[in-house]
Protein backbone atom coordinates (compact mmCIF):
# COMPACT_ATOMS: atom_id res chain seq x y z
CA UNK A 1 0.00 0.00 0.00
CA UNK A 2 1.25 3.49 -0.85
CA UNK A 3 0.15 4.92 2.47
CA UNK A 4 -1.79 8.12 2.94
CA UNK A 5 -1.16 10.40 0.00
CA UNK A 6 -1.41 14.16 0.29
CA UNK A 7 -1.10 16.74 -2.42
CA UNK A 8 0.40 19.14 -3.01
CA UNK A 9 3.50 18.79 -0.80
CA UNK A 10 4.06 22.52 -0.85
CA UNK A 11 1.68 25.35 -1.65
CA UNK A 12 2.45 29.05 -1.78
CA UNK A 13 -0.48 31.34 -2.39
CA UNK A 14 -1.44 34.93 -2.00
CA UNK A 15 -3.75 36.17 0.68
CA UNK A 16 -7.35 36.02 -0.43
CA UNK A 17 -6.90 33.09 -2.79
CA UNK A 18 -8.69 29.79 -2.44
CA UNK A 19 -6.55 26.84 -1.40
CA UNK A 20 -7.52 23.19 -1.74
CA UNK A 21 -5.57 20.43 -0.04
CA UNK A 22 -6.14 16.82 -1.03
CA UNK A 23 -5.86 13.50 0.71
CA UNK A 24 -6.17 9.89 -0.35
CA UNK A 25 -6.46 7.57 2.66
CA UNK A 26 -5.29 4.00 2.85
CA UNK A 27 -7.73 1.68 1.15
CA UNK A 28 -10.07 0.06 3.66
CA UNK A 29 -9.56 2.64 6.38
CA UNK A 30 -12.84 4.03 7.68
CA UNK A 31 -11.54 7.06 9.58
CA UNK A 32 -9.94 10.14 8.09
CA UNK A 33 -8.48 13.05 10.02
CA UNK A 34 -7.23 16.52 9.13
CA UNK A 35 -4.65 18.13 11.42
CA UNK A 36 -2.87 21.46 11.34
CA UNK A 37 0.61 21.89 12.82
CA UNK A 38 2.06 25.24 13.84
CA UNK A 39 4.80 26.19 16.23
CA UNK A 40 2.41 28.05 18.48
CA UNK A 41 -0.46 25.57 18.63
CA UNK A 42 1.19 22.24 17.92
CA UNK A 43 -0.86 19.50 16.24
CA UNK A 44 -4.51 20.50 16.20
CA UNK A 45 -7.29 18.22 15.05
CA UNK A 46 -9.45 20.17 12.62
CA UNK A 47 -12.05 17.60 11.60
CA UNK A 48 -12.49 13.88 11.27
CA UNK A 49 -14.72 11.59 9.26
CA UNK A 50 -16.01 8.09 9.82
CA UNK A 51 -17.30 6.24 6.77
CA UNK A 52 -17.19 9.52 4.83
CA UNK A 53 -19.40 11.31 7.34
CA UNK A 54 -18.02 14.26 9.33
CA UNK A 55 -18.10 13.33 13.01
CA UNK A 56 -16.44 16.25 14.74
CA UNK A 57 -15.55 19.55 13.11
CA UNK A 58 -15.16 21.51 16.32
CA UNK A 59 -11.52 22.14 15.53
CA UNK A 60 -12.20 23.95 12.28
CA UNK A 61 -11.03 27.46 13.09
CA UNK A 62 -13.41 29.54 11.00
CA UNK A 63 -16.03 29.40 8.32
CA UNK A 64 -13.27 29.99 5.83
CA UNK A 65 -12.31 26.35 6.36
CA UNK A 66 -14.36 23.51 4.92
CA UNK A 67 -13.71 19.80 4.42
CA UNK A 68 -15.42 17.17 2.35
CA UNK A 69 -15.15 13.47 1.84
CA UNK A 70 -17.19 12.57 -1.24
CA UNK A 71 -16.07 8.95 -1.17
CA UNK A 72 -13.93 6.53 0.79
CA UNK A 73 -10.82 7.28 -1.21
CA UNK A 74 -10.69 11.06 -1.30
CA UNK A 75 -10.98 14.08 0.93
CA UNK A 76 -10.36 17.79 0.52
CA UNK A 77 -9.69 20.64 2.92
CA UNK A 78 -10.47 24.03 1.46
CA UNK A 79 -9.59 27.47 2.74
CA UNK A 80 -11.39 30.38 1.16
CA UNK A 81 -10.22 33.09 1.40
CA UNK A 82 -6.77 32.24 2.71
CA UNK A 83 -4.92 34.45 5.19
CA UNK A 84 -1.25 34.58 6.26
CA UNK A 85 -2.15 33.08 9.65
CA UNK A 86 -3.29 29.93 7.86
CA UNK A 87 0.34 29.18 7.04
CA UNK A 88 1.08 25.79 8.57
CA UNK A 89 1.68 22.16 7.77
CA UNK A 90 -1.57 20.30 7.20
CA UNK A 91 -1.58 16.57 7.81
CA UNK A 92 -4.10 14.00 6.77
CA UNK A 93 -4.30 10.66 8.60
CA UNK A 94 -6.38 7.53 8.26
CA UNK A 95 -7.18 4.62 10.50
CA UNK A 96 -9.20 1.46 10.62
CA UNK A 97 -11.03 0.86 13.88
CA UNK A 98 -8.98 -1.67 15.77
CA UNK A 99 -5.83 -1.12 13.76
CA UNK A 100 -2.60 -0.59 15.59
CA UNK A 101 -1.87 2.98 14.65
CA UNK A 102 -3.05 5.99 12.75
CA UNK A 103 -1.13 6.48 9.51
CA UNK A 104 -0.20 10.00 8.53
CA UNK A 105 0.50 11.47 5.15
CA UNK A 106 3.64 13.47 4.47
CA UNK A 107 1.79 16.73 4.98
CA UNK A 108 1.18 19.85 2.90
CA UNK A 109 3.23 22.88 3.81
CA UNK A 110 1.04 25.90 3.13
CA UNK A 111 2.45 29.39 2.94
CA UNK A 112 0.09 32.31 2.49
CA UNK A 113 1.84 35.56 1.60
CA UNK B 1 -12.71 16.27 28.01
CA UNK B 2 -9.56 14.56 26.88
CA UNK B 3 -6.17 16.11 27.29
CA UNK B 4 -2.53 15.15 26.86
CA UNK B 5 0.24 17.04 28.61
CA UNK B 6 3.90 16.84 27.76
CA UNK B 7 5.47 19.16 30.27
CA UNK B 8 8.96 18.94 28.81
CA UNK B 9 9.22 21.33 25.88
CA UNK B 10 12.84 20.63 25.06
CA UNK B 11 15.41 18.14 26.30
CA UNK B 12 19.07 18.09 25.40
CA UNK B 13 21.32 15.14 26.17
CA UNK B 14 24.71 13.88 25.13
CA UNK B 15 24.90 10.74 23.06
CA UNK B 16 24.70 7.49 25.05
CA UNK B 17 22.75 9.09 27.88
CA UNK B 18 19.38 7.65 28.81
CA UNK B 19 16.44 10.02 28.48
CA UNK B 20 12.80 9.81 29.59
CA UNK B 21 10.00 11.75 27.95
CA UNK B 22 6.99 12.33 30.17
CA UNK B 23 3.34 12.12 29.16
CA UNK B 24 0.31 12.66 31.37
CA UNK B 25 -3.20 12.24 30.07
CA UNK B 26 -6.76 12.98 31.13
CA UNK B 27 -9.84 11.11 30.04
CA UNK B 28 -13.16 9.97 31.47
CA UNK B 29 -13.33 6.98 29.18
CA UNK B 30 -12.63 3.54 30.58
CA UNK B 31 -11.41 2.29 27.21
CA UNK B 32 -8.78 4.37 25.53
CA UNK B 33 -5.53 4.11 23.63
CA UNK B 34 -2.21 5.83 24.11
CA UNK B 35 0.35 6.45 21.40
CA UNK B 36 3.80 7.80 20.82
CA UNK B 37 4.83 9.32 17.51
CA UNK B 38 8.20 10.57 16.34
CA UNK B 39 8.62 13.54 14.03
CA UNK B 40 12.18 13.73 12.70
CA UNK B 41 13.53 16.89 11.04
CA UNK B 42 12.17 15.67 7.71
CA UNK B 43 8.68 16.32 9.08
CA UNK B 44 6.79 13.07 8.74
CA UNK B 45 4.96 11.55 11.70
CA UNK B 46 6.18 8.06 12.51
CA UNK B 47 4.12 5.72 14.65
CA UNK B 48 6.10 4.15 17.50
CA UNK B 49 3.66 2.37 19.81
CA UNK B 50 0.05 1.98 20.89
CA UNK B 51 -1.16 0.74 24.26
CA UNK B 52 -4.75 0.14 25.30
CA UNK B 53 -6.10 1.06 28.69
CA UNK B 54 -6.40 -2.55 29.81
CA UNK B 55 -2.79 -3.42 29.19
CA UNK B 56 -0.42 -1.92 31.71
CA UNK B 57 2.51 -4.11 30.84
CA UNK B 58 5.64 -2.18 30.11
CA UNK B 59 7.05 -2.66 26.66
CA UNK B 60 10.58 -2.72 25.37
CA UNK B 61 11.63 -2.48 21.75
CA UNK B 62 15.36 -2.29 21.30
CA UNK B 63 16.56 0.92 22.94
CA UNK B 64 12.97 2.13 23.43
CA UNK B 65 10.79 1.33 26.41
CA UNK B 66 7.43 2.54 27.60
CA UNK B 67 6.02 2.71 31.12
CA UNK B 68 2.23 2.90 31.38
CA UNK B 69 0.77 3.62 34.82
CA UNK B 70 -2.98 4.13 35.09
CA UNK B 71 -2.69 5.13 38.73
CA UNK B 72 -0.81 8.27 37.74
CA UNK B 73 -2.32 8.61 34.23
CA UNK B 74 1.12 8.53 32.73
CA UNK B 75 2.66 6.92 29.68
CA UNK B 76 6.36 7.70 29.74
CA UNK B 77 8.88 6.89 27.03
CA UNK B 78 12.52 6.09 27.70
CA UNK B 79 15.33 5.95 25.17
CA UNK B 80 18.35 4.05 26.42
CA UNK B 81 21.82 4.92 25.15
CA UNK B 82 20.51 7.77 23.01
CA UNK B 83 21.94 8.39 19.56
CA UNK B 84 22.10 11.47 17.38
CA UNK B 85 19.49 9.90 15.08
CA UNK B 86 17.02 9.99 17.97
CA UNK B 87 16.90 13.78 17.67
CA UNK B 88 13.32 14.61 16.83
CA UNK B 89 10.06 15.89 18.23
CA UNK B 90 8.16 13.21 20.11
CA UNK B 91 4.42 13.34 20.53
CA UNK B 92 2.24 11.50 22.97
CA UNK B 93 -1.38 11.03 21.85
CA UNK B 94 -4.68 9.70 23.17
CA UNK B 95 -7.75 8.25 21.51
CA UNK B 96 -10.98 6.72 22.72
CA UNK B 97 -13.65 4.57 21.17
CA UNK B 98 -14.87 7.57 19.19
CA UNK B 99 -11.69 7.29 17.16
CA UNK B 100 -10.70 10.87 17.84
CA UNK B 101 -6.93 11.21 18.30
CA UNK B 102 -5.51 14.17 20.19
CA UNK B 103 -1.88 15.07 20.70
CA UNK B 104 0.25 16.60 23.39
CA UNK B 105 2.35 19.62 22.57
CA UNK B 106 5.41 17.52 21.84
CA UNK B 107 8.89 17.30 23.33
CA UNK B 108 11.88 18.28 21.23
CA UNK B 109 14.78 15.97 21.92
CA UNK B 110 18.26 17.00 20.89
CA UNK B 111 20.99 14.41 21.17
CA UNK B 112 24.44 15.90 20.88
CA UNK B 113 27.44 13.88 19.74
What does B71-113 look like in DSSP terms, one character per residue?
A: GGTEEEEEESS--GGG-EEEEEEEEETT--EEE---EEEEEE-
What residues of chain B lie within 8 A of the CB of A91, using their CB? 45
Exposure class string for B34-61: b at 16+ Cβ within 10 A, else e? bbbbbbeeeeebebbbbbebeeeeeeee
- Find, among B103, B33, B21, B39, the residue nearest to B70 by Cα: B33
Which parts of chain A have pLDDT scores under 70? 1, 98-100
Q: Are strands B74-79 and B19-21 parallel, antiparallel or unpaired?
A: antiparallel
CB B35 within 8 Å of CB B95:
yes
> To the nearest whole angstrom, how far is the Cα of A91 from the nearest Cα of chain B?
9
pLDDT band for position B97 (cuts 50, 70, 90): confident
CB B94 within 8 Å of CB B113:
no
What residues of chain B lie within 8 A of the CB of A33, using their CB? 101
Mean pLDDT, chain B, rounded, equals 93
What residues of chain A lie within 8 A of the CB of B99, using their CB? 31, 48, 50, 55, 95, 97
Q: Over 60: is that where the pLDDT of B92 sits?
A: yes
Lowest mean per-residue pLDDT among A58-62, B11-15, B26-30, B97-101 = B97-101
Do A100 and B106 count as a contact with CB atoms less than 8 A apart?
Answer: no
**Who among B50, B100, B106 is closest to A45 (CB)?**
B100
Strand partners, B102: B94
Amino acid sequence: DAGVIQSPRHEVTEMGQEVTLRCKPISGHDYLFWYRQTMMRGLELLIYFNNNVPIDDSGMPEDRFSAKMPNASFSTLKIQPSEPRDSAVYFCASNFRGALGYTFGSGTRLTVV
Amino acid sequence: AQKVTQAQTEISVVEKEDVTLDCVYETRDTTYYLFWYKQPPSGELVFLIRRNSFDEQNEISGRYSWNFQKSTSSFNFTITASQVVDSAVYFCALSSNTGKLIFGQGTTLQVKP
